[in-house]
Structure 1
Amino acid sequence: MGTAERQETLPDGGAARATARRQLEAPDHDIPTDRDGTAAYRNAAEPDERGGRGAAQKQPEYRPLWIEEPARRRRLPDPVRTSAVRAVLIIAVTLIQAMVAFLCTMAGSWLAFPMVISSVVSTVVATWGALDVWVTRQVWNQRHGVVSTPSSTARALRRERRKARRQARAAERAQERIRRQGGAGQLSHS
């Protein structure tokens, strides 16, 4: 069991998380403590007030490293997250280049002109990166995230196509029935 998952068995057989024992922590929050609130790191050779040995008999109690909370939003799909990370890195490099170009210009350095040119190019690339995130998200939603609602245009079109196919099949079956009967039942025009 990891530090964040240490549990204590209660008398009724249940288990309680270590977070319930926060009042037993030392003031600096990283020293484990005993039940009475004193530091658990005693010399094993010196007996405590109750006549037993100090840290040799007791397990130090730990507080969890973190408390897990449910996510507020769903995680981005992998392709969208990849393009977002790429865009953030490109934008960060662009901002650094722009700052270096500005500082070189203020200092009158020969490096100012190449840095300004590279900043302009990087700005174009950063714009492409931001648009890439948007396009990737739209494509992913179109392929995987279609929400079908009763008022959806796509659903209405599918319903009309199904209706037209049913009517065509019914007409074809009727024609086939007429052919099988050898024209019997048709009105003649002669």
Structure 2
Amino acid sequence: MRAVLLIAVTLLQAMVAFLCTMAGSWLAFPMVISGVVSTIAATWGALDVWVTRQVWNQRHGVVSVPSSTARALRRERRRTRRQERAAERARGRIRRRSGAGQLSHS
């Protein structure tokens, strides 16, 4: 959040510096200087967020790409579920077919 605010303020300062320069205002030079300082601060903020995320991921072992073993396990679970659903459908068809054509169940 801090990095987003720093970047937003930097963009705002750059726009004000540009408009002051176009208008020939005395405020143009101080705005350009503060814009340079803000750019450095915003870059630091963005790098801080990026590095912090990288360190956290390394320490906690979080990998965004699933490993091949996890993928294989998921594939196997899916295959088992699919077979169970197919067997259930087949049982339902057999029950319906065996009851067809009977006038009474006794």
TM-score above 0.5: yes
Structure 1 residue 145: Cα displacement: 2.8
2:19 match: 103
Q: TM-score, normalised by structure 1?
A: 0.32
**Consecutive aligned runs of 4 or more in structure 1 exceeding 3 Å deviation:** none
- How many residues of Structure 1 are paired with residues of Structure 2 in the alignment? 65
1:138 match: 54
Distance in structure 2 (CA, Å) of the matches to 1:146 and 1:98: 38
Name the structure with the higher helix share: 2
Deviations 1:17-70 (A, max 9, x none): xxxxxxxxxxxxxxxxxxxxxxxxxxxxxxxxxxxxxxxxxxxxxxxxxxxxxx
Q: TM-score, normalised by structure 2?
A: 0.57
2:33 match: 117
Letter in 1 for 2:44: W
Task: List gaps (5 residues or longer) in structure 1.
Answer: 1-84, 151-190
Structure 1 residue 146: Cα displacement: 4.3
Letter in 2 for 1:94: T
SS at match of 2:25: coil
Q: Which has the larger radius of gyration?
A: 1
Letter in 2 for 1:107: A
2:95 match: none
Structure 1 residue 101: Cα displacement: 0.3
Letter in 1 for 2:46: A
Deviations 1:117-163 (A, max 9, x none): 0001101111111111110101110121345x69xxxxxxxxxxxxx
Distance in structure 2 (CA, Å) of the matches to 1:112 and 1:124: 19
Q: Does 2:45 correspond to 1:129?
A: yes
Distance in structure 1 (CA, Å) of the matches to 2:24 and 2:48: 36
Task: List gaps (5 residues or longer) in structure 2.
Answer: 69-106
